[in-house]
Amino acid sequence: MDKLFYKDFKSNIFRGLKLIRALNLDPNAAVGPIRVEIAASSACNYRCWFCASHSYLYPDRIEPLFLSDELMRSLFNDLKKLHVTELLFSGNGEPLLSKAMIREIKQNGKKFLIEILSNGGNLSAVDEELFRNLQYLTISLNSGNGKSHQITHGYKGENQFPGIVNNIERLLNISGANKKIKLNYVITAENYEEIDDLIKMAAKWDVIFSARPVKADDQALRGKTLDRQMLENLDKKATQYLAGSNLSGRLSLSLQLIKRACQINYQDSVKSTKLYPCYVGFFDPYITSNGDVLICVSGQEHPFGNLNEESFQSIWQKRQNLAFRIMATQMHKTNQMAFSACRNCVNVQYHSLAFHNIYSKIPVLPGLLENRSRKLDSNITDKKGA
């Protein structure tokens, strides 16, 4: 456990230092974000009920779009120029359906630390060449034994869970694969009873998993979410496993992530009007499958620009976009939202607050950022959320 903890701690220290550098006040400097999240495709082979884009509970589906080969090549070149080191391919579709993404990662993936977040349904597209160019391959399994896999992922026909497990075990035969493969598990009322099977499977494979209770603001979905008692039981279950002996470092870390996720959901059960400082625009901006560049996955109200019209480097270095990113870091002081999704955003509690608690104690730097926020000439006021 100690070795894994300190490796992760050291990595986050370096990321924190890079984030401080990314808060560069010169928009013309060749300093990009820490990571860029990219939706290589909006097409998907599943219809997970909790998905905002493809849920089988809603009649409409988004148009299947793909970032082109040319655009993908240009994007990789720009990110290299801006010294971006981390890429996450996820978004509102299944990344492994994108041939352009696969080709670019095979050709230039070694220049970056790349993670693919997949639903697992197209893992046959991951050969050893692609896998070796990845830092992580995260599979949203969302089932511990396959019983809930079809109802959660919204597909008909034969249960695909066994095939996904077989593909994972195929990749685990590659040396060091257990350090690259991670599992995601959205905990719902339907798969809640399968969590023990997930823990046993992750222990067998010695892989990290991240299990979080589902978030569903739509009243129609409330019956599928965990109630307070379920959250408390889940927290206790993780505590009981942690009290056991001979836990691997990866399993221990995964169980602690469950407890943290439960605590954040406890806090979120009481809606707050408080705004938090958000650094996501410097840490993890988002590119949609139609080429829009957003401050984050929830930033559709205020696109920074589109890759079909100008380069990522040009969009990133625009003065007004820098102003917007800095403005989001000051929300706790101004009590003004960058856009409507900022209030009650849970994601900020996983990333920005941990960084802010340290950054705010560094002499001079927070004051410089606040002063720069006031001075930047920007017309973003009317684009804030209500």
* pLDDT per position as a tens digit, 307-357: 999 999 999 999 889 989 999 999 988 888 888 888 778 777 667 877 888
Residue 47 has pLDDT above 50, yes or no: yes
For 151-172, what is the mean pLDDT? 96
For residue 252, pLDDT over 70 is answered with yes
- Whether the CB-CB separation of 91 and 115 falls below 8 Å is answered with no
Q: What is the pLDDT of residues 96-135, one digit of tens each?
A: 999 999 999 999 999 999 999 999 999 999 999 999 999 9
CA 67 to chain centre: 19
The band of 379, judged by pLDDT with boundaries at 50, 70 and 90, is very low
Mean residue pLDDT of the chain comes to: 87
Pick the range with the lowest mean pLDDT from 183-192, 232-241, 360-369. 360-369
Least confident window among 32-36, 182-186, 212-216, 382-386: 382-386
DSSP line for 199-228: HHHHHHHT-EEEEEE----SGGGGGGS--H
Mean pLDDT value across residues 70-82: 96
Per-residue pLDDT for 265 more than 80? no
Signed CA dihedral, 328, 366, 17, 80: sign only = positive
Nearest residue to 287 (alpha-carbon basis) of 102, 74, 107: 74
Pairing of strands 86-89, 292-294: unpaired
CB contact set of 318 (below 8 Å; sequence gap of 6+): 27, 304, 305
CA 76 to chain centre: 19
pLDDT attached to residue 2:
45
264 pLDDT above the threshold of 80? no
Chain position carrying tokens 């456990």:
1
Q: Please tell me which residue, 158 or 359, carries the higher pLDDT value.
A: 158
Looking at per-residue confidence, does 64 or 372 come out higher? 64
